[in-house]
């Protein structure tokens, strides 16, 4: 008789056992007996069942992924405890260590045996683990991530031998704390090394900040590292450009952002996102008030002076509550050979982090790609225009600089990721064709991930591409969650997860993510917009207005906030106020849309029709979904359905809100509407 079930499968193997047998067969067999006793005890303890023994290898099954992972960790710790005397002072090749692979999947039951991909994947996974380490698949990670203290690191997508589909793999580092060496990444020097000098300084500042922040939170060695780190928070204010050339602003902004990005990768350190920290640029600051607004207890500020082949960077860390200077340093660097300094500072940051993390944590340095100064300059200028864009021309200037960076270095992952994002945005606002923009953007972002599989922001940008243009809700959610795993301090991740959950009708989850995004980036207009929108789609129009009004106090001219405010006012029945609100908007199509809807409810058909004609003339090529909403709100059901069909044909990004839009309620029971929703596979 044959049956199927879901099971967590462990496969274990002793590293280099055959070699150990050839060196000392009797000792190897004694060690194998000890190994078997340890595994038998742990597997029984965690309610597993041994399926098969193959010499020094073992297959076991568990009813839950939690039990399988906890058993694997227990085995590795127990192996180290029981075999400490043997392993002490042994060269690496003579250590007794096991590798473990774990997969959660469908298995076929025949009598007492199990077969299928669930078994095969676990065995193919095991060789990818470090000696003394554990590898798990995405299915296992998703099941256990909320229940384990030791967090694995993402390896990426891997093609396993004789397994058709690629698997997303995570690994727990080796449980040999004294044997694990953190590899140093050597990079050949470019002819001009100012980029590398700035990278060194960034790492040095980041390591010292982390040490200082943690020290001020707890003067004694903490009983619980996690508990200590939860209170640590920091904002990196934009460094002041002290160079004689004001056009070097992009360089000082870039240094600030790179320090921020290094800090953002540190677990349990709350780091305010760039846009909120940069909202204070060029202003006289009361740091205590700034810290309160940003919700942090530490501020980093500084200055940059770049002149010829030298750079001076001054940084100081301030405890916000007391205005006390905790640490400051000035870096003067000749921009030539800086690799000795780079290694020294990188080693220092690793040492500090290993103290602050659990003893067995493995800290891996970033691989610094050998980017030319010219390419990096173009990239920083692209970022500068992207973050400061106030119109389409400036967004297109950002695209040009990212183009330049990639022409100079076609393996520049972060530049590719941002060019992909800008192409996404320019397509969404109808500057670039829907038939070209998304495809080129996707190629850029996929290439960025291929070059650097741990580039978190690239997964965010790819998730947006999948969501906006492919209506791929499951794929986009996976990308956002991968980004969260790689870097939990990126506010855009939570903002986008909030939007995604709203689109699927999961309103409480959407609000949780939106508030998380706001905690990281309280002054970013898009974050606040998506929080307001989460309340809007939940039907809480009053709270949506509260959030919008708060945002408009520091972002009075944001078109998106004005349009959302007018839409809320329409649904509250305040049509005259909606018309007054939208008069402040510069976008003619949006203004005409709100006017058409408001005049319709006010009974003025002539004005409503005139505004609708203007709206269609200005926006038919890229806003079919919004036109459908307007027709539905006016009560023209057939026109609404026709425009919804056209929106789907055009791949209008607005269509992702089709099941939650309050403006579409009149068509919820229409057959054409239901058919379209089924096509989109939203839930």
| Rounded Cα distance, 250 and 377, in Å | 8
Question: What pLDDT score does 157 carry?
Answer: 76
Q: In terms of Cα–Cα distance, which of 322, 236, 274 is closest to 521?
A: 274
For position 265, what pLDDT does the model report? 66
Cα 377 to the center of its chain, rounded Å: 25
Residue 219 has a pLDDT of 40
Pairing type for strands 167-172 and 49-54 reads unpaired
Count CB atoms within 10 A of the CB of residue 418.
27
pTM for the model stands at 0.60
Using only C-alpha atoms, what is the Rg of the chain? Answer: 28
Question: Which CATH topology does 198-368 take?
Answer: Rossmann fold (3.40.50)
pLDDT at 382: 92
Where, residue-wise, is CATH 1.25.40.10 in the chain?
404-487, 489-556
CATH fold, domain 489-556, is 1.25.40
Correct CATH for 2-172 of 1.10.1660.10, 3.30.70.1230, 3.40.50.150, 3.90.1150.10: 3.30.70.1230
Q: Which residue do the tokens 């047998």 mark? A: 21
Task: Give the residue range(s) of CATH 3.30.70.1230 domains in the chain.
Answer: 2-172
H or E element: which one contains 346? helix 339-356
Are 498 and 513 in contact, with CB atoms under 8 Å apart?
yes
CATH 3.40.50.10610 maps onto the chain at 198-368
State the pLDDT at residue 86: 58
The pLDDT, as a whole number, for residue 21 is 66
DSSP one-letter string for 63-78: SSHHHHHHHHHHHHHH
In this predicted structure, what is the pLDDT of residue 531? 92
Q: Tell how strand 57-62 and strand 98-110 pair up.
A: unpaired
Comparing C-alpha atoms, which of 173, 267, 184 is closest to residue 486? 267
Q: What is the mean pLDDT, run by run of 10 residues, along the chain of 683 residues?
A: 75 76 72 85 89 84 88 83 60 68 81 70 84 88 76 78 80 62 31 47 49 44 29 78 75 75 67 79 80 83 76 76 72 51 38 35 45 82 84 88 94 94 88 87 94 91 92 90 85 92 89 88 85 92 92 79 94 95 85 95 96 93 92 96 94 90 95 91 77
pLDDT of residue 18: 65
User: What b/e string do you get for 668-683 counting C-beta neighbours within 10 Å, with b at 16 or more?
Assistant: eebeebeebeeebebe
Give bridge partners of residue 102 from the DSSP assignment: 10, 136
Residue positions counted in the chain: 683
CATH H-level superfamily of 404-487: Tetratricopeptide repeat domain (1.25.40.10)
């Amino acid at each position: 008789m044959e049956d199927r079930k879901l099971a967590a499968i462990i496969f274990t193997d002793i590293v280099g056992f055959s070699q150990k047998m050839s060196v000392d067969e009797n000792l190897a067999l004694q060690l194998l007996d000890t190994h078997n006793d340890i595994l038998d005890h742990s597997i029984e303890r965690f309610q597993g069942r041994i399926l098969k023994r193959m010499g020094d290898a073992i297959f076991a099954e568990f009813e839950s992924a939690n039990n399988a992972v906890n058993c694997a960790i227990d085995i590795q710790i127990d192996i180290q405890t029981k075999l400490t005397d043997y392993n002490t002072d042994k060269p690496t090749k003579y250590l007794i260590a096991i590798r473990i692979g774990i997969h959660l999947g469908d298995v076929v039951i025949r009598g007492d045996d199990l077969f299928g991909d669930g078994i095969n994947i676990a065995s193919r996974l095991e060789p990818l683990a470090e000696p003394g380490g554990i590898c798990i698949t995405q299915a296992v990670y998703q099941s256990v991530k909320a229940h384990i203290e030791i967090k694995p690191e993402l390896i990426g997508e891997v093609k396993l031998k004789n397994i058709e589909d690629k698997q997303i793999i995570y690994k727990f580092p080796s449980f040999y704390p004294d044997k694990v060496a953190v590899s140093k990444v050597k990079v050949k020097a470019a002819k001009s090394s100012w980029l590398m000098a700035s990278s060194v300084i960034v790492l040095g500042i980041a390591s010292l900040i982390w040490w200082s922040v943690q020290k001020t939170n707890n003067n004694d060695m903490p009983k619980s590292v996690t508990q200590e780190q939860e209170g640590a928070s920091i904002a990196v204010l934009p460094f002041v450009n002290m160079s004689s050339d004001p056009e070097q602003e992009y360089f000082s902004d870039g240094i600030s952002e790179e320090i921020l990005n290094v800090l953002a990768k540190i677990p349990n350190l709350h780091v305010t996102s760039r846009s909120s920290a940069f909202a204070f640029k060029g202003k006289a600051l009361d740091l205590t008030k700034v810290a309160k607004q940003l919700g942090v207890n530490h501020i980093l500020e500084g200055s940059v002076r770049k002149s010829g082949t030298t750079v001076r960077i001054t940084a100081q860390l301030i405890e916000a509550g007391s205005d006390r200077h905790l640490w400051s340093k000035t870096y003067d660097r000749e921009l030539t050979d800086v690799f000795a300094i780079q290694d020294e500072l990188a080693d220092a940051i690793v040492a500090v982090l290993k103290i602050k993390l659990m003893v067995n944590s493995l800290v891996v340095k970033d691989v610094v790609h050998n980017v030319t100064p010219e390419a990096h300059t173009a990239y920083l200028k692209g970022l500068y225009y992207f973050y400061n864009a106030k119109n389409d021309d400036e967004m297109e200037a950002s695209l040009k600089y990212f183009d330049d960076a990639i022409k100079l270095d076609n393996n520049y992952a972060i530049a590719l990721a941002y060019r992909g994002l800008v192409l996404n945005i320019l397509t969404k606002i109808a500057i670039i064709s829907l038939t070209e923009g998304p495809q080129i953007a996707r190629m850029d972002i996929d290439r960025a991930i291929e070059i650097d599989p741990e580039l978190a922001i690239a997964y965010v940008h790819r998730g947006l591409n999948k969501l906006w243009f492919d209506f791929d809700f499951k794929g986009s959610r996976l990308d956002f969650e991968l980004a969260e795993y790689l870097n939990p301090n990126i506010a855009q991740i939570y903002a986008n997860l909030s939007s995604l959950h709203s689109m699927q009708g999961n309103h409480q989850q959407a609000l949780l993510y939106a508030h998380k995004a706001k905690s990281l980036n309280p002054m970013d207009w898009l974050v606040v917009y998506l929080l307001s929108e989460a309340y809007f789609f939940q039907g809480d129009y009053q709270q949506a207005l509260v959030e919008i009004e708060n945002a408009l106090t520091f972002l009075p001219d944001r078109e998106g906030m004005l349009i959302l405010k007018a839409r809320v006012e329409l649904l509250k029945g305040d049509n005259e106020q909606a018309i007054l609100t939208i008069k402040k908007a510069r976008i003619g199509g949006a203004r005409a849309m709100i006017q058409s809807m408001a005049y319709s409810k006010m009974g003025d058909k002539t004005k409503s029709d005139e505004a609708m004609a203007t709206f269609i003339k200005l926006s038919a090529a890229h806003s079919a979904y919004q036109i459908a909403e307007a027709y539905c709100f006016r009560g023209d059901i057939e026109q609404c359905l026709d425009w919804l069909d056209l929106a789907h044909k055009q791949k209008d990004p607005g269509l992702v809100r089709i099941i939650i839009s309050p403006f579409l309620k009149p068509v919820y029971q229409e057959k054409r509407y239901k058919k379209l929703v089924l096509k989109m596979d939203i839930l």
